[in-house]
Amino acid sequence: MVKHLKTDTFKKEVLESDVPVLVDFWAKWCSPCLRVAPILEELSKEVEGKAKICKLEVDEEYEIADEYEIMSIPTIVVFVNGEIKEQVIGVQSKQSLLKLLGL
């Protein structure tokens, strides 16, 4: 399942997670972002228990987007132990995302 992050759940869900977390920064009006969604759905089933797959809507949770200086979407960030391990821009294949997660 893909989790929708809020500003007040970000710390607990992402920074304090025991497993790697993939965060997709997106917006409703960004058409390439909509193409990421089905890929994440599929990915989330495959990595269940090994990693968390999350989405953060930059319009709503702009404080987090600002903090990480997101200026281009879709941006996909992988957090490990609360720190950024990987960051890519644009739609990625499921295989590439698995690689980013180190799985």
Partner 1 sequence: MKDIIIIGIGPAGISAAIYLKRAGLNPVVIGQDFGALSDYPEKVENYYGFGNPILGEDLIKEGINQAKRLDIEIIQDSVIALDQIDDHFKVKTTKHKFQTKTVILATGKKRMTMSIPGFNKFKGKGISLCAACDGYFFRRKKVALIGCGPYMAHELDVLKEINQDITVFTHGSPLLESVSFPVVNSKITRFLGTDKLEGIETEDGNIYQVQGIFVAIGAPSSIDFATKLGVVVERNSLVVNHTYQTNIPGLFAIGDVIGGKLQIAKAVYDGMMVSDHIKTYLKSK
Residue 33: active-site member:
yes
Question: Of residues 16, 19, 93, 102, which one binds partner 1 by CB under 8 A?
Answer: 93
Q: Compose the 30-69 pattern: x for residues touching partner 1 by CB under 8 A, - for all others.
A: xxxxxxx--x------------------xx---------x
Q: How far is CA 92 from CA 18, 95, 98, in A?
A: 24, 8, 10
Alpha carbon separation from 12 to 43, 50, 60, 90 (Å, rounded): 22, 17, 18, 26
Binding site for partner 1 (CB under 8 A): 27, 29-36, 39, 58-59, 69-75, 89-93, 96
Looking at the annotation, which residues are catalytic? 30, 33
